[in-house]
Structure 1
Amino acid sequence: MADVEAPNRLAVLRAAAALTQLEVAARVGSAVTAGQVSRWELGVQRPSLPYQRALARVFGVSVQELGIPERPSVPRSRRPSAEDWFMDDVRDPRVAKSQDEWRHTRRLLNARRHELAQTAAGLYPGHALAGTGLIAGPGWIPDAPVDLADVRLTEVPDAAPPLLDGTEREAARMLPDESLMRSYPRYTRAIRDLAPPRLFEDRHAWRLLGVDWAQRSLAFGDTTYFGCADVFEALAHELAYVALDADGNPAADPTLRDLPYRRLVGDPFVLDRRPVMPAVSTLTIRRDGARAEFLLHRRDPRAVAAAGGMLQVIPSGVFQPSSLLPAARAADFDLWRNVQRELAEELLGLPEADGHGRPVDYTAGPYGLLDAGRAAGQVRVWCLGVALDALTLVGEILTVLVVDAPLFDRLAADFVDRNDEGRVESERFAFTESGVRGLLDSGRVAPAGAGCLELAWRWRDVLVGG
């Protein structure tokens, strides 16, 4: 009898690397199990693209050399194994129904994030930031823009772990069945298996611990993207499940009483109860005398886990180091460096610093150009405050970058039209009252972007003059 063709090269590559399935799982990501690696090797399940990239890094090959077909396939001539029984369990109609309902709620969540953010903001009266979908704690928005050079960052390496991690009983309602006998243990595991976006990788990030504008100080500990997403996406899913009907129309005006997981979180501005992952969102403005205009980015719903299809300020990204090497971690614990890296990736098409490579050389290329422009007064960057996305309770560090026209145009000569997260809008939007208000009233701008626009317009005289 002829040998059955292997479904991929994963087992061969693992044997060549002298690794166990458990060791491969640990290197691919914290949410991956040895059983998952086994299913990938058998061809019973197909790893999503982020996991394919991680596997390629583990084995030192290209994604194509993994030999993974477009669709999962189980060789017909092989005897059924325990893995096959597991997959039969997954295909049980009761399991399929649970997973389909979860996917449906998640699609509605992603399609209605703007409306849901407004609903969520209403749960925290007195804290909503205009109509942006953001909420701000007491003193979280300073009385005037703060030069980013004056913001002091404090790292708390021995911070106690958060009390909540997404495995609480109250979160179980947001988790679909993984098999007949168990539900998914974490929300990110469900995303990974049932609705994976192109960009979905667990990475180290800094965790927001404190906001003190009297001292112009922000405090941070350590966290991971998945560790935060297990909480913040579950909170969003819960609200979508309660507030929307099966067609995505408003079904109820929920209170915290209707939202047990959000109620368990309690005061959203108490930052030690859950992991709060901050993103740095930056409104980039081209200033030409009395005229100013800004850029926006349309996020691709197929590529990102949140705010797909919405407009966002650019650059924008999680506050995290470019690499886990100590030298990179020390250099990257800086909001300006985060803004520079995201700008280089999202507007100039430079490869993403995904945490696995060497430290970024901030003296070269666009980094050096931006630093020189900042020293010469051609680049000015401010922090407008800190807020939370009301829907997810994710932290948002709101900043604005103003670049004089000659330097902006020099950079813009190399701007890309698309990046891994979506499309850069070709239109430059006028930084005028009608331009800003028209966008804010449209409901098309993600909460962080709306917050940047709202505050930047409030302080336009300081930022661009006139």
Structure 2
Amino acid sequence: MNDTGAPNRLRALRDARSLTQREVADQLGPAVSEAHVSRWERGEVPPSARYRRELARVFGVAVSELGIPEGRAPRQRRPAEDYMSDVAQDPRVEASQEEWRRTRSLLNGSRHQLAQVAAGLYPRAVLEGTGLIAGPGWIPERPVDLAAVTLVEDPAAAAPLLDGSEREAARMLPDQSLMRTFPRYTRAIRDLAPPRLFEDRFAWRLLGVDWSQPRMAFADTTYFSCVDVFEPLAHELAYVALDADGNPAGDPSLRDLPYRRLVGDPFDCARRPVMPAISTLTIRRDGDRAEFLLHRRDPRAVAAAGGMLQVIPSGIFQPSSLMPAARAADFDLWRNIQREFSEELLGMAEADGHGQPVDYASGPFAVLDRARAAGQLTVHCLGVALDALTLVGEVLTVMVVDADVFDALAYDFVDRNDEGSIVAERFPFTEAGVRVLLDSGSVAPAGAGCLTLAWRWRDVLLP
């Protein structure tokens, strides 16, 4: 019910057009989420005048036919675009924010190109043109069975020296008003260019890797703490390396990039928070034939690598819940891969950090565990690298699944998920199939790294 006590017709209008709440939100722009539409339909809050007009357009009716009572709307947290339209009145502030949006748009449209430029700043660490760089000893001599990797958490680790509040990082922030800039890059994203998925959550940060053990060390961080460092690095390079039309403006050096120069050694994990994502190349194996899946990331939904192809599953290394039992169980690379597999390919609800621990003994988790125990599924770590553009950590893994197990799971694969769409075709895991994708420039650095290393070690992974 509405605050006025009268129901609205939003649900009926949506059902009449066979639209989901997400599809309605997509048509209203990036500042509107599925949750906004749900709350409007339940009458918990009314949409603003702007979104009433937009809803009428989507449903093809007059505003009066929405059934939303007139009158002053109660105070509520509004979508960021509405909020900023109120506060960014001065043309100088608007010009600053528009310049920031333009650079960010160019950044998101040129991430592959910019990753190659960034990799050129670290020539001794480049990983074969993937847009990744790897520190000394970060890539093992051969794939490592994931079960052999020991994870260590250091709760007493010192905080990183850099956190995104530095003067050099502030150069990438737009004006919030005439007298101040935005305090953090994440605040600017939230208010000026919010993707559909943008929430601060606990995560683990990488401290180091040692393949002689093999061993990885981690400490605590949060998603926004890392974004406040890695997105200004990318923004700075986009601003310097691209002209106003998004064309190359020369090859910058570290002298031209004060924040990147301040970061210094990219493999010094004590200097800045290094948030690792776990990216997994999933290969279906049927005798001598092998093929793999890719995921197209929706630029309206994600803060980074929107529009690019990525291996699937892929996700930040973080627990499913903040409950102690979940944190203990989820401090495991395989459990993270399983959750991302269930969310991105099977459409299961995302474990957003606030619910109960995941029951790994049931559903697809149990299926994957049984297949792994029976030797019908193998999962290996190919190494650890950094996206040269953002200096985000990437744990590169590959999962090879026997055809019968894969096909049984594939019956329930979704076409779309919260982060984008599953590419319908399966790509052949052949030299030609891998090379065409790598040469296209459409694969995100982590995905390119997984493909490059998996092909290098194909005889080990597919004996």
Which residue of the partner structure matches residue 160 of structure 1?
Answer: 158
Percent of aligned positions with the same letter in both sequences?
74
After superposition, the Cα gap between the structure-2 partners of 1:52 and 1:161, relative to the gap in structure 1 and judged at 3 Å, is farther
Which residue of the partner structure matches residue 334 of structure 1?
Answer: 332
Q: How big is the shift at 1:66?
A: 3.6
The one-character-per-residue Cα deviations of 1:134-156 (angstroms, maximum 9, x if unpaired) are 00000000000000000000001
Q: Give RMSD over aligned pairs.
A: 2.5
**Paired amino acid for 2:440:** S
Whole-angstrom CA distance in 1 between matches of 2:96 and 2:146:
47
2:47 pairs, out of 69, 83, 101, with 69
After superposition, the Cα gap between the structure-2 partners of 1:406 and 1:51, relative to the gap in structure 1 and judged at 3 Å, is closer
Which residue of the partner structure matches residue 405 of structure 1?
Answer: 403
Which residue of the partner structure matches residue 108 of structure 1?
Answer: 106
CA contact (8 A) 1:52 1:63 kept: no
Taking structure 1 as the reference length, the TM-score comes to: 0.85
Whole-angstrom CA distance in 2 between matches of 1:97 and 1:348:
43
Whole-angstrom CA distance in 2 between matches of 1:438 and 1:67:
50
Whole-angstrom CA distance in 2 between matches of 1:463 and 1:47:
41
**Paired amino acid for 1:439:** L
Taking structure 2 as the reference length, the TM-score comes to: 0.85
The one-character-per-residue Cα deviations of 1:61-114 (angstroms, maximum 9, x if unpaired) are 8984441415669x9999xxxxx9997652110000000000000000000000
After superposition, the Cα gap between the structure-2 partners of 1:358 and 1:290, relative to the gap in structure 1 and judged at 3 Å, is same
CA contact (8 A) 1:349 1:415 kept: yes
Gaps of 5+ in 1: 7-45, 79-83
Q: How big is the shift at 1:158?
A: 1.0
After superposition, the Cα gap between the structure-2 partners of 1:72 and 1:169, relative to the gap in structure 1 and judged at 3 Å, is farther
2:208 pairs, out of 207, 210, 227, with 210
Whole-angstrom CA distance in 2 between matches of 1:179 and 1:287:
57
CA contact (8 A) 2:138 2:209 kept: yes
Whole-angstrom CA distance in 1 between matches of 2:186 and 2:120:
27
**Paired amino acid for 2:262:** L
Whole-angstrom CA distance in 2 between matches of 1:88 and 1:385:
48
1:195 pairs, out of 175, 182, 193, with 193
Whole-angstrom CA distance in 2 between matches of 1:153 and 1:231:
25
Which residue of the partner structure matches residue 141 of structure 1?
Answer: 139
Which residue of the partner structure matches residue 234 of structure 1?
Answer: 232
**Which runs of structure 1 show a deviation greater than 4 angstroms over 4 or more consecutive aligned residues?**
46-53, 61-65, 70-73, 75-78, 84-89
CA contact (8 A) 2:30 2:194 kept: no
After superposition, the Cα gap between the structure-2 partners of 1:149 and 1:181, relative to the gap in structure 1 and judged at 3 Å, is same
**Paired amino acid for 1:315:** P
Which residue of the partner structure matches residue 264 of structure 1?
Answer: 262
After superposition, the Cα gap between the structure-2 partners of 1:86 and 1:67, relative to the gap in structure 1 and judged at 3 Å, is closer
CA contact (8 A) 2:84 2:192 kept: no
After superposition, the Cα gap between the structure-2 partners of 1:85 and 1:159, relative to the gap in structure 1 and judged at 3 Å, is closer
CA contact (8 A) 2:298 2:306 kept: yes
Q: Aligned ranges for residues 268-283 of structure 1 at < 5 Å?
A: 268-283=266-281
Whole-angstrom CA distance in 1 between matches of 2:347 and 2:33:
19
Whole-angstrom CA distance in 2 between matches of 1:85 and 1:206:
32
Whole-angstrom CA distance in 1 between matches of 2:83 and 2:46:
22
Whole-angstrom CA distance in 2 between matches of 1:351 and 1:52:
14
Q: How big is the shift at 1:125?
A: 1.1
Whole-angstrom CA distance in 1 between matches of 2:175 and 2:410:
48
Query: How many residue pairs are counted as aligned between the two chains?
Result: 413
Whole-angstrom CA distance in 1 between matches of 2:441 and 2:316:
23
The one-character-per-residue Cα deviations of 1:163-183 (angstroms, maximum 9, x if unpaired) are 111110001110000001100
Q: Aligned ranges for residues 113-128 of structure 1 at < 5 Å?
A: 113-128=111-126
